[in-house]
Amino acid sequence: MVAKKNYELHGIRSMEEKDNGFQMIVEGTDFYPISIQVKQPLSNNYITIQSHASSINKYYLGQEMMDTAIMAAYYNNLPSYRVQVQRMGKEIGVISTEENEHNLSDRGEGETQLKALLGADIEVMVYHPLRGSFVAIPMGNREGSKIGSDRALIRKGHAFYQPIIELRPSPQESGIKLRDELHTLKCRLEENLGKRSLQIVSSPNPTGRFYLGGHIHVSNQKATFRKASQLDALITLPLSAYYMKNGLDRRKIYGRLGSIRLNPYNGFEYRTLPSWYELIDDDNKVFFQWIEFIFLHPNLPHYKFTESVLRAYYHGDIATLKIAVTQFFQQLYPLLSSTEQKLINEWLNWLKMRERID
């Protein structure tokens, strides 16, 4: 039996190069693309394009192709890389990955002179219990609002509706302030919907093709593979072992480890977690303190994951995940100050408390 490539363990498929496939070559360092080239089906020539969203999104599933290339490099432990991907219809796969040493640059965690701020967008859906159906809102321009809608669309007749609502707090300098801002938005949303006897649903896959995420944003921080490994090992895997045990279908599509996109604020968005809407209350402050600690700490280790741990995450093997998480924290504990060690203890106690509640 041929051993699976590292990226295949995360559900990314390998492909043979096809003349009728749309192809993209991404060269970069960590989550930063340096060069992007695309080749149309049946063409012999690649053309170079800009790496910003307006250029990438001109091509069908262009953003997803670039994401796939960068995540394949992360999974294969190639901090400087050249990855060739291909789209056949809606299917995206990897043709090749290789190290590209001339891309190497200073890739330290690197805080800038500007203060890092934390943000989020938390996705939920609205349910009408009397009708037994979900409620969608008419499509509109709500990009700047703190309670707005995701870009996912459904069509009813000649109109388009948006079934996913997002909570988008203002960026905050601490995890607790982020929680306070989110709590204000949560209360406002629930008060408004309660007047119409509507309910919030925040499970990972409430219905059909809709999957709900709890994306965490940070500004003025470098998006490195090292930082992604810390977020995976110290936030996502512990939550998956003790609390967020459902949503396996989402993990294989939108919840892959290391799912990161750059944002316009000299930082990035961590997209792996499912919606954590229900954690926005006073009993879960340690969750927000832990987010702040892991996102902003400059000197945490770089984590690598065994095949057994990866299989456990994507297939819901709780026992294996708990063993791995215990090892991560045992290795981390002596590297930290007494205050930071106290926070680890509080985090682990909170996880076990959430497991008992759920």
pLDDT in tens, 43-56: 999 999 988 878 89
pLDDT at 101 over 80: no
Count of domains observed in the chain: 2
What pLDDT, on the 0 to 100 scale, is given for residue 141? 47
What pLDDT, on the 0 to 100 scale, is given for residue 139? 44
Same domain (yes/no): 137, 175: yes
Which of 56, 100, 107 is CA-nearest to residue 261? 56
User: Does residue 108 fall inside a structural domain?
Assistant: no
User: Does residue 158 fall inside a structural domain?
Assistant: yes
User: Does residue 277 fall inside a structural domain?
Assistant: yes
* Token duo for residue 294: 């892991």
Final residue belonging to a domain, choices 50, 80, 103: 103
What pLDDT, on the 0 to 100 scale, is given for residue 4? 75
pLDDT at 6 over 50: yes
User: Does residue 21 fall inside a structural domain?
Assistant: yes
Q: pLDDT confidence of 148, banded at 50, 70, 90?
A: confident
Same domain (yes/no): 31, 74: yes
pLDDT at 24 over 90: yes
pLDDT at 307 over 80: yes
Section 299-324 average pLDDT = 97
Same domain (yes/no): 176, 283: yes
Q: pLDDT confidence of 123, banded at 50, 70, 90?
A: very high
Final residue belonging to a domain, choices 71, 103, 135: 103
Same domain (yes/no): 180, 67: no
Same domain (yes/no): 180, 75: no
pLDDT in tens, 219-246: 999 999 999 999 999 999 999 999 998 8
What CATH number does residue 161 fall under?
Answer: 3.30.590
pLDDT at 142 over 80: no
Residue 219 φ then ψ, to 5°: -105, 155
What pLDDT, on the 0 to 100 scale, is given for residue 8? 97
Same domain (yes/no): 173, 320: yes
Q: pLDDT confidence of 162, banded at 50, 70, 90?
A: confident
pLDDT at 270 over 90: yes
Query: 248-251, long-range: CB within 8 Å, 24+ apart, which pairs?
Result: 248/314, 248/315, 248/316, 249/204, 249/205, 249/211, 250/204, 250/205, 250/211, 250/212, 250/213, 250/274, 251/313, 251/314
**Dihedral sign for Cα atoms in the order 258, 259, 261, 267:** negative
Please return the burial class of 256, using the count of CB atoms within 10 Å of its CB with bins 0-12, 13-18 and 19+. buried
State how far the Cα of 242 lies from the Cα of 32, in Å rounded to an integer: 33
Contacts of 233 (CB under 8 A, 6+ apart): 303, 305, 328
What pLDDT, on the 0 to 100 scale, is given for residue 145? 83
Q: Residue 298 CB: number of other CB atoms within 10 A? A: 11
Same domain (yes/no): 340, 252: yes
User: Does residue 188 fall inside a structural domain?
Assistant: yes
**Count of H-run helices and E-run strands, the chain:** 10, 17
Strands 214-218 and 267-270: antiparallel
User: Does residue 329 fall inside a structural domain?
Assistant: yes
Residue 45 φ then ψ, to 5°: -120, 140
pLDDT at 65 over 50: yes
pLDDT in tens, 204-215: 999 888 999 999
What pLDDT, on the 0 to 100 scale, is given for residue 114? 87
Same domain (yes/no): 125, 260: yes
pLDDT in tens, 326-343: 999 999 999 999 999 999
What pLDDT, on the 0 to 100 scale, is given for residue 154? 55
Phi-psi region of 159 (alpha: psi -120 to 50; beta: other; left: phi over 0): beta
What pLDDT, on the 0 to 100 scale, is given for residue 160? 52
Q: pLDDT confidence of 163, banded at 50, 70, 90?
A: confident
What pLDDT, on the 0 to 100 scale, is given for residue 54? 82
Return the minimum-mean-pLDDT range out of 30-34, 53-57, 95-99. 53-57
- 155 has which bridge partners? 160
What pLDDT, on the 0 to 100 scale, is given for residue 95? 98
Final residue belonging to a domain, choices 79, 103, 127: 103
What CATH number does residue 82 fall under?
Answer: 3.30.470.20
Same domain (yes/no): 337, 232: yes
Q: Mean pLDDT for the chain?
A: 91
Q: pLDDT confidence of 143, banded at 50, 70, 90?
A: very low
Instruction: Give the SS3 label for residue 214.
Output: strand
Return the minimum-mean-pLDDT range out of 109-118, 275-284, 316-325, 326-335. 109-118
User: Does residue 163 fall inside a structural domain?
Assistant: yes
User: Does residue 1 fall inside a structural domain?
Assistant: no
What pLDDT, on the 0 to 100 scale, is given for residue 109? 47
Q: Is the pTM of this model over 0.75?
A: yes
Same domain (yes/no): 341, 277: yes
pLDDT at 106 over 70: no
Same domain (yes/no): 184, 258: yes
Domain that holds residue 264: 118-357
Same domain (yes/no): 73, 200: no
Q: Residue 98: what residue type?
A: E
pLDDT at 137 over 50: yes
* Token duo for residue 202: 């925040």
pLDDT at 132 over 50: yes
Secondary structure element (H or E) that encloses residue 297, with its range: none
Q: pLDDT confidence of 149, banded at 50, 70, 90?
A: confident
**C-alpha 347 chain-centroid distance:** 21
